[in-house]
Chains A and B, each alone.
Chain A
């Protein structure tokens, strides 16, 4: 006989505790069973390459394996001293500035126009959104044709007005602008739909109240509509900046980064150092430097948005 005689209450407690522990184990098993298929893919194709890339960035890995082995921070030092890295980073930031502003402002303008309740709504929606569904390759095929110096539609129209032909993709001064125009055409539909949805959610009573107070259309726009859209604008701005920083496809296929590297993006530089220069370690180091930049941008935006909504 043990000295500790279990009272019925204590026994019950023990049993429920045991039951709880068992239930908890069961829950953990169930949880992991549900999460496992995703978790396996996630670890294999995201966590592992992310860590492997980090390791590669400290090595001198090349295609042939020559010069491999740990080199410490040498790749990072090289990257920071590499004028081509800075140039492609500069191009990327320039592209981000040039593309983000019209992609926010113009998409808002389009959404406001379409939201006026004018007839033909489905047609407007379709026109602005359709390009967003196209593969980058198709977009580039369309626009290479539009930009064609001798046969392209744009120069053809310009010629009708007696203007000189423009070398849209070959002229270092206009190449980036051409890329931005194509991007604007291709992607504006997404922001446009986000704004349109947000506009529809502004309660009608607010306009009625404002109209009774004698506020005109423009006054309503600036005092009701635009302030109400602030969360949407913040979301669009966040998504847009991050998307623009990652630009690759359309530039790579339209100009291949040219003329004279004027439009080469940082993702293209990562691709080229890895797959044409075969400098895997170096390429990974730039990836990580760029990743740090993206995290900083995301954090800054998060802080800014939170401060604004807290105020």
Chain B
């Protein structure tokens, strides 16, 4: 994979003779700072609101020094009274399961497409390409009726299974496996290793970076998915965080501070994921051009 250089750190773009503190560079810096600040404002405003008392949050005008002062009351209330911990657990459980199944099935299928000449391969491959164009949003009605028939409405499996395969990821992994020299596998096969053994102990270790990137993206997509879990769950105890939050909004009514505290709590895990896996996420986007949403 040679298409990324982003993670190699800062590339200097000013020439040796160029003044790094020139007026035009300072102007660019100012524009950038204003834009970045604009992008951070909704976060800041929400965090600020979540730290106020309900009375202060519901007062008109922009108050930066609320009369009641700042506190974590809203967070305490949301965590103790609400369903948020349960929803977070549901989100974690389903997202991890979806990630695990998707990565495992995509890697196996991607390997078959890359290395094995099997009958029906072309057909399956064509079907996968065609499937990438189908927006999952359009299948909600038949899929929901199917779930009714399988008795999977309001179950974890109902949330997990329809999200646990990703045609695009199969193609991305196939493309990666294609680049691994066959000679590496041949050596192991001469020693008598079977396909699965070769896949497990030669191919997978070499594919760690791409597997990590795929896993992170699947996880983020699953954690954030709204429409499918929203349709397949009606039981409040089984809702994922995004779906549950949607119900909180109406239940809390005018409790703005608690509202914002829930939103911040829901955003936190992904901010942490980003801080930990920054490099893989950026590499993933740079090399494959895939993402959720």
Contact = CB atoms under 8 A, between A and B. Distances in A.
Contact of A291 (B3, B35, B134, B143): B134
Given A52-B145, A138-B245, A42 B271 contact: no
Contacts of A288: 138
Interface residues of B, number: 103
A46 to B, nearest CB: 6
Contact of A117 (B10, B139, B195, B266): B10
Q: DSSP majority for the A interface? A: helix
Given A53-B139, A201-B5, A248 B224 contact: no
B36 interface: yes
Interface residues of A, number: 98
B46 interface: yes
A167 to B, nearest CB: 15
Interface stretch (A8-16, A79-87, A121-129): A121-129
B261 to A, nearest CB: 10
Contacts, number: 287
B127 A47 contact: yes
Contacts of B62: 153, 156-157, 160
B104 A197 contact: no
B263 A138 contact: yes
B4 A197 contact: yes
Nearest to A134: B267
A1 interface: no
A133 B109 contact: no
A34 B108 contact: yes
B241 interface: yes
Given A185-B39, A246-B137, A267-B137, A56 B25 contact: no
Interface in B274-291: 274, 282, 285-287, 289, 291
A52 B118 CA distance: 28
Contacts of A298: 133
Interface stretch (B78-86, B161-169, B180-188, B206-214): B161-169
A201 to B, nearest CB: 6
- Interface of chain B, main secondary structure: helix
A125 B40 CA distance: 12
A163 interface: no
A38 B224 contact: no
A301 B202 CA distance: 39
A18 interface: no
Given A37-B104, A153-B62, A133 B146 contact: no
Contact of B134 (A32, A50, A150, A151): A50
A136 B242 contact: yes
A145 B3 contact: no
A145 B260 contact: yes
A94 interface: no
A135 to B, nearest CB: 4
A125 B6 CA distance: 11
B224 A31 contact: no
Q: Which 3 A-B pairs have the closest CB atoms?
A: A31-B118, A197-B286, A34-B112
Interface of B: 3-6, 10-15, 24-25, 28-29, 31-32, 35-37, 39-43, 45-46, 49, 57-62, 101, 104-106, 108-109, 111-113, 116-121, 124, 127-128, 131, 133-135, 137-146, 161-162, 164-165, 167, 170, 195, 199, 220, 223-224, 226-227, 231, 241-243, 245-246, 249, 256, 259-260, 262-263, 266-267, 270-271, 273-274, 282, 285-287, 289, 291, 293
Given A27-B117, A31-B119, A124-B36, 13 more contacts: A29-B118, A30-B118, A35-B112, A35-B121, A37-B109, A41-B105, A46-B131, A132-B293, A133-B270, A137-B226, A137-B243, A248-B137, A288-B138
